[in-house]
Amino acid sequence: MKIAYVLNTYPQPSHSFIRRELQALERLGLNVTRLAMRRPDLPLVDDRDRQEEAATEFVLERGAMALTGALLGRVLADPRRGLRALRLALRCGAASPLGRLRHLIYLAEAGWVAGRCKRDGIAHLHAHFGTNSAMVAMLANALGGPRYSFTVHGPEEFDAPAALSLPAKLERAAFAVGVSQFGRSQLCRWTAFEAWNRLAVVPCGIEPGAFEQAAPLPEGALHLVSIGRFAEQKGQMVLVQAMARLRDTHPDLHLTLVGDGPMRPVLAAEIDKAGLEGRITLTGWLDQDGVRAALDASHALVMPSFAEGLPMVVMEAMAAARPVISTYVAGIPELVQPGRTGWLVPAGDDGALADAIRTLAVTPREQLAAMGAVGRTRALRRHDIDRAAARLAALMTRTP
């Protein structure tokens, strides 16, 4: 079966989970075409991401004339369908702060995608994220393209479902996927009860082969790691505040912040202001091997997010046999079991986060290793990418 993935900006350093899913589907025998609207806007440090970029078609690079021509071709082939698609795009544009003009651009992109699918016999479109990629998939379907589905991660879709026309996307989709039970519950809010059977849970996955062996906990002073884009929703500033609380009582405590993003200058300034320059290291983006090395060098992962979907880095830390400190947000409690695989604290509470780190610091290393082993078993059993891809493939290939 030929399918196509519709993506916005791909590949990105933080989207390795999409790459793993695509490759797992290909191992199942599906022929997957990668259609991204634009190239990555961040440096790609992982060779596997560079290979994905080389295998991806970038729609906007076709140029305005080609996209407009493709759209006009679809409209002339079926004027009624074309008019309905135009009305749909304008209606969605009216609800969005991006406006109607942007949605007319999405319609042109959709015209090219629909034509591409027809030429190559692509039977199904799947989009990641319920944002503009799902909009392009929906409009391509409205223009006579194949049926479509999409995976919702959150939190963006949950923050502005009306502005993203999420109900319309859900109504027209063959099915929609949440990456956690929490995510599916949020889709239920915007879907008629009789259509709940078209909402599924397919979690993101890890490659167990990449975690065949877990490194033992390192000797020496407590070393924490936090991995993710430096953005408001990830909550790294709260972690810096917690580290400031622990500065005098835990002088040997060290934190490595892996990632980059718009908040880096603010984080760096706060680290300097709190006198934590020697206690917190900012590495920038690391490739997959570098992330694994950072996990192996740590005693625990800290994920202080305000909003999330189902964080891949938590799965990876658990698979690497590291306990996790995180927050009661979205799908995180479906991963981290307090007292068994880590600790959960209220989001935004730097005092509670500091207390959790204090508890971690006095927990015997043997107990931390045992917690890591429980988390490793849980992650490898529940989040094997090949199993997740098989579940997704079954949804894509079932008879409508």
Is the pLDDT assigned to residue 399 strictly greater than 70?
no
Which CATH number do you get for residue 83? 3.40.50.2000
Residue 43: its pLDDT value, please?
87
Instruction: Give how far Cα 40 sits from Cα of 9, 13, 97, 364, Å.
Output: 5, 9, 24, 43
Lowest mean pLDDT among 10-19, 234-243, 327-336, 372-381: 10-19
> Within this chain, do residues 128 and 230 fall inside the same structural domain, yes or no?
no
**Does the pTM of the predicted model rise above 0.85?**
yes
Q: By the 8 A CB rule, do 234 and 304 touch?
A: yes
> Within this chain, do residues 136 and 167 fall inside the same structural domain, yes or no?
yes
> Within this chain, do residues 138 and 256 fall inside the same structural domain, yes or no?
no
Q: What is the CA radius of gyration of the chain?
A: 22
Looking at the chain, the whole-number percentage of residues with pLDDT higher than 70 is 100
DSSP assignments along 318-336, one per residue: HHTT--EEEES-TTGGGT-
Query: 326-380 pLDDT, tens per residue?
Result: 999 999 999 999 999 999 999 999 999 999 999 999 999 999 999 999 999 999 9
Six token digits for residue 256: 């490595």
Query: 269-312 pLDDT, tens per residue?
Result: 999 999 999 999 999 989 888 999 999 999 999 999 999 989 99
> Within this chain, do residues 73 and 187 fall inside the same structural domain, yes or no?
yes
* Domain span at 320: 208-382
The C-alpha atoms of residue 329 and residue 221 are separated, in whole angstroms, by: 29
DSSP assignments along 73-94, one per residue: HHHHH-HHHHHHHHHHHHHHHH
Instruction: Give how far Cα 100 sits from Cα of 86, 94, 205, 294, 302, Å.
Output: 10, 6, 36, 45, 41
CB neighbourhood size of 210 (10 A): 14
Q: By the 8 A CB rule, do 300 and 342 touch?
A: yes
Residue 102: its pLDDT value, please?
97
Residue 373 CA to chain centroid, in angstroms?
A: 25
Total domains, the chain? 2
> Within this chain, do residues 251 and 186 fall inside the same structural domain, yes or no?
no
Query: 75-128 pLDDT, tens per residue?
Result: 999 999 999 999 999 999 999 999 999 999 999 999 999 999 999 999 999 999
Six token digits for residue 151: 């995976």
Is the pLDDT assigned to residue 230 strictly greater than 70?
yes
